[in-house]
Every structure is written in structure tokens, then in C-alpha cells.
Amino acid sequence: MNKLKKIIECLKNPGLYKSYFYGVAPMFELMPLLKKISNINTLVDVGSNKGQFSVIARKFFPGVRIHSFEPQEDQLNIQKKVLGDYNIKYYNIALGNDEKTTKIYITKRKDSSSLLKPANIANEKYLVNATKIINLQKLNNIAILKEIERPSVLKLDVQGFELETLKGGDEIIDNFDYIIIEVSFIKIYENQVYANELYDFLNSKSFKLEAKCNFTMLDGKSFQEDLLFIKKKD
């Protein structure tokens, strides 16, 4: 969905006026995945940026409890203005498979920033404007997530760092009923993982691929896509 269509949708929905005011474009393009989910009580939004996904998730599930993880403080502050304090907890940290301080590469378009250095890709939104030292933690060690109310969704959009984040949450991954994840088919960041590796990992953890949407191409090649995985029933 292009920018103009998103603005029109925001203006058609009074609950999204604040998103429009603060320049937060709800991720309407992920609605096909949300429509596959009957209900959720908890959303863990990792790589939440300005809250683009949480905004649309709250529209679908007004009572959802949100845990929002975003290492860029300026983006998290915008998110707080849009989503407020109701039923949401904010974490100004990155998630991975270690506990340490690390570097984030802040790109021209901040929702493309990553803990991985952008590769030589011909797209200016991946140009690095700055770097910053941030805190990295493991999902396993976020105590409140060990006893979350279900059904629950884990959403990951961490620009090539998805597998490290999942490995750092391997002890609590069974607490999630659904996982929504952005995958890449070509090299965007150094040392990133690709779609097949994430599929194999989630399959090994008893999650099955349920739906796909938002497929994009770059220079005639498969680029990125968003996937919904559902926990397999015993």
C-alpha cells in the first residue's frame, strides 16, 4: 500500500488520526495476516520502530496487551505519543542471543536500521547516517514474558537479525501461538539470515507456515515478504 492510500485510510478511521498526526503509517499491508488470527491477548512487538504494527494490531484487537521493543529512543518516543500508556509496556533495548552492549547502524530511513552493517545494496534508504551503542538482551531473560496471557503473537522485524533474536528466546518460544516475521531473499545486511533458514528454525520449534503477504521485488529479484507461522497442535 502506497503512502497516499495509507493517509486516506488513517483519515477514514478516527482511531488512527493520531498516527497520521505523528507521521506513523500503520502497516495495513499486514492485515491479511492479522485476519488469519481469531484473537490475541498479548503482542510482543520486536523491532517496533514507531509502532506501525502495534497501531494496526490494536485496531484489530482493542484489548491486546503490548510489549514493545525498540532500541532507537527517538522512534520509541514517537510511538509513546501515538499509543500512549494504556495496556502497553515499552523497552528501549534490542534483542538477540547475548547480553551486552552493541552497535546499531542507523540508516537514512530509520525503520531500516539494523544491528548488522548494511551491504552494498543500491537503495538509499539503507545508507548509514550514524552508529550508536545500545543495550542487547535476550527474550529468555525478560521475566514478564515467561508468563504471558494467551493467545499470543511474537512479531519480528529486526532487519536481518531475526534468527539471533529467536535463538535468544528459545526457552520461551512455546509461550507464543503465532509468529509474524519479515524475511529476506537477497543480501541486504552483512551476515544476515535468509528466509529458508528462518523457516527451518521455526519448523524445528513446531511452528508451521500459515500465510504470506507483502511480497516485494528489487531489480527483478525476490526481495522481502512477511510470513505468519502458527504453533502446531500436539
DSSP string, 178-211: EEEEEEESS--BTT---HHHHHHHHHHTTEEEEE
> What pLDDT shows up at residue 10?
67
Longest dimension (CA), the chain: 48
- For residue 165 the three cell numbers come to 533474536
**pTM, whole model, 2 decimals?**
0.94
- For residue 105 the three cell numbers come to 547502524
Residues paired with 209 in a beta bridge: 229
Distance of CA 202 to the CA centre of its chain: 16
Quick check: 44 and 152 in contact, CB under 8 A?
yes
Domain boundaries, the chain: 3-97+140-231
> What pLDDT shows up at residue 2?
66
Question: What does the buried/exposed string (b/e) look like for 148-163 if buried means 16 or more CB atoms within 10 Å of the residue's CB?
Answer: beebbbbbbbbbbbbb
> What pLDDT shows up at residue 21?
84
> What pLDDT shows up at residue 122?
56
CA distance 234 to 118: 40
**234: exposed, middle or buried (C-beta count within 10 Å: 0-12, 13-18, 19+)?**
exposed
Angle made by CA atoms 204, 169, 228, in degrees to the nearest 5? 55
CATH assignment of 3-97+140-231, given 3.40.50.1580, 3.30.300.30, 3.50.50.60, 3.40.50.150? 3.40.50.150
pLDDT digit string (tens) for the chain, length 234 residues: 666 677 677 667 767 778 878 888 889 999 999 999 999 999 999 999 999 999 999 999 999 999 999 999 999 999 999 999 999 999 999 999 999 999 999 999 999 999 999 998 757 788 999 999 999 999 999 999 988 999 999 999 999 999 999 999 999 999 999 999 999 999 999 999 999 999 999 999 999 999 999 999 888 889 999 999 999 987
